[in-house]
Amino acid sequence: QQQVKQSPQSLIVQKGGISIINCAYENTAFDYFPWYQQFPGKGPALLIAIRPDVSEKKEGRFTISFNKSAKQFSLHIMDSQPGDSATYFCAARGGTSYGKLTFGQGTILTVHP
């Protein structure tokens, strides 16, 4: 059972464009929503995260938008660059066990120069 659903599976964007990745969750006990970035051959690394009492968080070109009532959150990458090409995972923490992260399926982002 996939408790965090992520879309799209893959995304192609031109340099300078906006990349948008969406996630939806079911468990209202989730209390922390991170996004991880993974480059080929590497482990995932935290990119940006948000708590459900905040509707938006921005760090540089990366923004999380959070809609608690809809149980949805999204990652926006402004001015996308070829170096942003990677796999992105949304995740949600909490539920039945502390520290447990439930991940989305992942989105492969390709930014063309």
Contacts of 99 (CB under 8 A, 6+ apart): 93
Site for another protein in 65-104 (CB under 8 A): 89, 93, 97-104
Site for another protein in 14-33 (CB under 8 A): 31-32
**Rg over CA atoms, the chain:** 13
Cβ distance to another protein smaller for residue 77 or 91:
91
Q: Which of 7, 11, 81, 106 binds another protein (CB under 8 A)?
A: 106
Instruction: Find the binder of another protein among 43, 60, 83, 113 (CB under 8 A).
Output: 43
Among 12, 18, 29, 45, binds another protein (CB under 8 A): 45
